[in-house]
Structure 1
Amino acid sequence: MRRSHAEAALPWIVALALALLWEAVVRCFAVPEFLLPAPSAIGASMAKWWWPLLDSAARTLLNTVLGFALAVAFGLALGVAIGASPLLYRALYPLLIGFNSVPKVAVVPVLVIWFGGGIVPAVITAFLISFFPIVVNVATGIATVEPELRDVLRALGAGRLDIIRKVGLPRAMPYFFASLKVAITVAFVGSIIAETVAGNQGVGHLMLVASSRFDVPLVFAGLVVTGAMGVAMYALAAVLEARTTGWATRGQRDGLGFGA
């Protein structure tokens, strides 16, 4: 029990130690605030601008969750289709890799032309940037079902859909939840990019306005809020993973998840 509590407190201890070191370096070397604000200055800015930060964080979280939900729905469906069909795998996988290689910041102006400013470009950007990890991991989980197991199930009268539903999907679940923990964090990146380039709301827009006024502590406050939201969503995905696919890691200690 003591070890469990110590492990839970370890990230907070490390974060506090880094903040104290950061504060000491800034004060000892008299670093100007417009170059690198101290954690105390960032905290003061968060206290001063708490309502704009809260409102912007809520809008960014909404954009991210909407884009992430679309990525989960379409990514899971396409991943199952690609993993179950070697023909689709050969036909679509190179296209997916090529599309994922395109910098999403270059796509945002096109989205603005098509849909205008506001929430839609941010949601689509979050979707585009978090879609690929889900597809790849689900397709890998479906495609790596052992051929011997497939043959046995066919001999027992199981069809392709039966194999996918009863063996392929459970086999892909650990891959799926692992991809969720990656996708939800990069989805925030997509939302912030769109809000910075073409948004009129959200944390990205707030940081852009703050940087134009050389309010660097507020910029860092936006980064802290975004990081906190990312950690919270990652922790939620880790808890769902532990509750849903705990059987896959029942003989191991999960040193990376929050909820296992």
Structure 2
Amino acid sequence: MNSLSPLVRQRLLSATALLGFFLLWEIGCLSFGVSDLILPRPSQIAVVLWQKMPLLWPHTLQTLYTTFAGFVIGVAAGVLIGMVIGSSKTAYDVAYPLLVGFSSIPKVAVVPIFVVWFGAGTVPAILTSAVISIFPVVVNVATGLATTEPELEDVLKVLGASKRDILLDVGLPRSLPYLFASLKIAITLSFVGTVLSETVAANKGIGNVMMIASGNFDVPMVFAGLVILAVLGVALYSVSSYFESRMTGWTQRKNDMTMA
């Protein structure tokens, strides 16, 4: 194993840990005779996924579409608001308390309002996904812009750069590590918002499937939905990490320097 590259070694260790977790789960359920109404075994969940995938696939695509749409809207709005707040102390003092107050509102309380405005279905789920993912983006983008050194801004101004030039050519590139850090948080929150809305006000999506399965005491199906959500979350998280490594590689240490 010492001859393997650090990246391959890390992935092998992650896969081994994951397989070990599911194996202990399976053995524990069999050893203690745990009912599948309480905690289904991984093998039971795998069977449900295999047998029900033709049924689950359209709901999976619906949840993925809703989450991605809400995530894009939330990130776009968060970047714009973060740019305004991070580049103006007055805007920061005025808007930041409002954002903190809004983010403190439980999003389950917002879903009924969206349903009244737009009706039950996809739109409330997209909006809930967007709203729940805005705040971490705003905070990180504003923080990244605020870390631009005043001395650097003074030098650029002397060289003839406008405030807009400083923001676009210096501030935003320097805030990219903060932005991508927030994207990893926002993508997981987007799934929370989507599933929350699907369980309350939708007739399709993984959240709706889980709600119906829970009402029917079909616990293996509920866990199958959780597995699908976990896989989708990891996939989008990995996409975000890939773009982060491509666009902000200058902020990260080389893997081959971390291990001898």
Relative to the length of structure 1, the TM-score reads 0.95
Paired position in structure 1 for 2:95 = 92
Paired position in structure 2 for 1:12 = 15
1:253 CA displacement: 4.3
| Contact 2:70 2:127 (C-alpha < 8 Å) held by counterparts | yes
Q: Does 1:243 align with 2:252?
A: no
Work out the CA distance in 1 between the residues paired with 2:247 and 2:127. 28
Paired position in structure 2 for 1:38 = 41
Q: Of the candidates 127, 134, 145, which is equivalent to residue 124 of structure 1?
A: 127
Amino acid aligned to 2:184:
K
Q: Of the candidates 61, 81, 90, which is equivalent to residue 84 of structure 2?
A: 81
Q: Of the candidates 47, 68, 73, which is equivalent to residue 65 of structure 1?
A: 68
Work out the CA distance in 2 between the residues paired with 1:176 and 1:10. 29
Q: How does 1:217-256 map to 2 (within 5 A)?
A: 217-249=220-252, 251=253, 253=255
Work out the CA distance in 2 between the residues paired with 1:234 and 1:25. 30
Work out the CA distance in 2 between the residues paired with 1:206 and 1:11. 30
Amino acid aligned to 2:203:
N
Q: When the two structures are aligned, how many residues end up with a matched partner?
A: 253
Q: Does 1:212 align with 2:215?
A: yes
Work out the CA distance in 1 between the residues paired with 2:6 and 2:171. 37
Paired position in structure 1 for 2:172 = 169
1:71 CA displacement: 0.9
Work out the CA distance in 2 between the residues paired with 1:169 and 1:37. 48
SS of the aligned residue for 1:49 comes to helix
| Shift in CA distance, 163/2, structure 1 to aligned 2, threshold 3 Å | closer
1:2 CA displacement: 3.5
Amino acid aligned to 1:194:
S
Paired position in structure 2 for 1:258 = none
Amino acid aligned to 2:194:
S
1:178 CA displacement: 0.9
Deviation >2 Å, runs of 4+: 1-4, 251-254
| Contact 2:145 2:175 (C-alpha < 8 Å) held by counterparts | yes
Q: Of the candidates 29, 44, 62, which is equivalent to residue 26 of structure 1?
A: 29
CA displacement, residues 62-88 of structure 1 (integer Å, 9 cap, x when unaligned): 000100110111111111111001100
1:252 CA displacement: 5.1
Work out the CA distance in 2 between the residues paired with 1:115 and 1:154. 47
Work out the CA distance in 2 between the residues paired with 1:15 and 1:54. 24
SS of the aligned residue for 2:220 comes to helix
Work out the CA distance in 2 between the residues paired with 1:132 and 1:139. 11
Q: Structure 1: state its 5+ residue gaps.
A: 255-260
Identity in percent:
49
Deviates more, 1:234-243 or 1:111-120: 111-120
Relative to the length of structure 2, the TM-score reads 0.95
Q: Of the candidates 193, 213, 218, which is equivalent to residue 190 of structure 1?
A: 193
Work out the CA distance in 2 between the residues paired with 1:113 and 1:12. 45
Amino acid aligned to 2:9:
A
Paired position in structure 1 for 2:203 = 200
CA displacement, residues 144-163 of structure 1 (integer Å, 9 cap, x when unaligned): 10111111111111110111
